[in-house]
Amino acid sequence: MAEFIKNKYIKQETTKYKKIFANLPKDRLKIATGLIERAAFMAASLKELEAAINEKGYTDEYQNGENQRGTKKAPEVEIYNTMVKNYTAAIKALVDMAPEDSGLDPEAAAILNHIAKRK
């Protein structure tokens, strides 16, 4: 993903999350802003990693010396797996910040709760 496109996607994701969490109390919104920015970056990075995995595949071949060869998990897959967990944790933290009567759009809250429960 080109840097310009990635930055544009990050901005779109940031805007989307800020709209969803706009009704948080001001003290929580200050904390949430950092998480929103991290979640947006991770969403864009995950999209980038997905494209790399689709292009290169899930495994890499390796050779250690003359006789030792095999396949291993591609580095992009390992990074992706770690980042998905971190993204899920960030979304869960954001959802947990929102009190029941926070005014979150019910559909958005349901989607975010679903994402936060997935592992």
Provide CB contacts within 8 A for 88, sequence distance 6+.
115, 116, 118, 119
For residue 6, what is the DSSP state? H
More confidently predicted of 109 and 66: 66
Across the chain, mean pLDDT equals 87
SS3 letters for 11-29?
HHHHHHHHHHCCCCCHHHH
> Residue 96: which pLDDT band, with cuts at 50, 70 and 90?
confident
Joined together, the tokens standing for residue 101 give 């009567």
Amino acid at 2: A
pLDDT tens figures, 10-62: 999 999 999 888 888 888 888 899 999 999 999 999 999 999 999 999 999 98
